Copies of this chain bind each other. A is one copy, B any other.
Amino acid sequence: MISRSLATSLPEHVGERVRVAGWVHRARRLKSVTFAVLRDRSGLAQVVLPGSAEVPPEETVVEATGLVVANPQAPGGAELVEPVITPLGEPARQPVFDLYRPGVPASLPTVLDNAPIALRHPKLRARFEIAAAGVAGFRSTVDGLGFVEAHTPKIVGSATESGANVFGIDYFGRPAYLAQSPQFFKQALVGVFERVYEVGPVFRAEPHDTTRHLAQYTSLDAELGFISDHRDVMSVLRTTIAGMVGSAADRAGAALDLLAVELPVVPEEIPAVHFAEAQELIARHTGEDPRGEPDLAPAHERWLSEWASREHGSDFLFVTGYPMAKRPFYTHPEPGNPRYSNSFDLLFRGLELVTGGQRLHRHSDYLAALAERGEDPQSYVDYLGVFAGGMPPHGGFAIGLERWTARLLGAANIRETTLFPRDLNRLSP
């Protein structure tokens, strides 16, 4: 049997007999000719049959052996004629919407309810090829910077990082929880590897049904030691984001074209404003006065992003120095101005994409920070042991993969860039 050719390779085989295999993407009968368009992982191949020919129902898996001829009107400029079509499975059930239409003729709930089939639509599949390319760029960048990849527990004994929004598990009869982040583990591993990263699921029992939150998402976490302050973390993050954009261009060019995505330019230095300065800007220019608020409202994040685009020509903006009141207890305060912190958010096209910053690294600072928040150090005994055992100044960041892809594609709902979302209402498919 001749070996299989991929659909997009047909132009290289004009004049040869080849075998292609894939899903019947579309069957189209004209008066004197029938077209069967096959879809495989590479793209589409047009197969030409006599007008009277039967073509299996769309989405049936078939192989077709035939002669490749040039035809400028066919996808890629070549098509298969005189084919023998052999089903590789049973006739497929009709999909809930037509997968061959150029646009996606279905609402988001319909897509999500029928994800295993719906995601076959080339424009839906393309989103996840872009996501995969982004993750590959994340890894190759941090690998190149000497980071080591780790795999940490997703089941933890105490819901410590933030008591709210955790999922409880029955762990051999004992209570346990799904990890909300690898934060404590990645800090501990700075003591081992200096530079560490993890790509993995994190879990939030988000009681709100919003377009921005999921019960499980993929977190691209990095943490590094021997920093001067949070600006060293921002510099690594800038390099990483540039690597993710570059990887999307290199590895997912066809998907980007199909979705007409315009990749952002990552400036050599991403503009940065201090939180206090950001509030001043908003007060001066918008008629609203957020000064005194401990956090930025989504509308203000959007305004700041537009400001960065206007003033600095940048799709990205760092906001630094968030008030300690709104940051976790392990956050390093701003030297000389301890109301603020050595932390940052990275805004990308109007939305917070990354949170990061410098962490405390002295054992005594942890004890003081917990005491100030009225927390019992005994609940953090393993974590505190890391700092008692000697830790360098360190910091890190976490990028939400689904959010990254959503902003890149201009998707309004994070569920559009999640294969099988989990949320307050959704536990299948």
List chain A positions with a Cβ less than 8 A from chain B.
4, 21, 23-24, 40-41, 59-61, 88-90, 92-93, 95, 114-117, 119-120, 125, 128-129, 132, 135-136, 139, 143, 146, 148-157, 167-172, 174, 176, 178, 185, 188-189, 191-195, 199-201, 203, 205, 207, 215-216, 218, 226, 361-364, 382, 385-386, 388-393, 401, 419-420, 422, 424, 427-429
B170-A88 in contact (CB<8A): no
Given the known interface contacts A178-B169, A427-B176, the answer about A192 and B155 at a Cβ–Cβ threshold of 8 Å is no
A-B contact pairs, 30 of them (CB 8 A): A24-B390, A41-B193, A41-B195, A61-B391, A88-B361, A88-B393, A93-B385, A115-B188, A116-B189, A116-B192, A116-B389, A117-B385, A129-B148, A132-B149, A132-B150, A136-B139, A136-B143, A151-B218, A152-B419, A152-B420, A153-B216, A154-B203, A155-B178, A157-B427, A171-B427, A174-B427, A189-B419, A200-B201, A201-B201, A382-B429
**Shortest Cβ-Cβ A-B pairs, 5 listed:** A92-B390, A41-B194, A382-B429, A59-B390, A116-B188
Q: How far is the CA of A159 from the CA of B359 in the complex (A)?
A: 40
B389-A93 in contact (CB<8A): yes
B153-A386 in contact (CB<8A): no
Q: How far is the CB of A104 from chain B (nearest CB, A)?
A: 14
B89-A362 in contact (CB<8A): yes
Option from B148, B168, B201, B361 in Cβ contact (under 8 Å) with A154: B201
A117-B386 in contact (CB<8A): yes
Q: How far is the CB of A90 from chain B (nearest CB, A)?
A: 5
Residues from chain B with a CB closer than 8 A to the CB of A146 are 41
Option from B150, B192, B392 in Cβ contact (under 8 Å) with A120: B192
Q: How far is the CB of A8 from chain B (nearest CB, A)?
A: 12
Across the two chains, which residue of chain B brings its CB closest to A393? Answer: B88
Across the two chains, which residue of chain B brings its CB closest to A206? Answer: B172
Residues from chain B with a CB closer than 8 A to the CB of A60 are 390
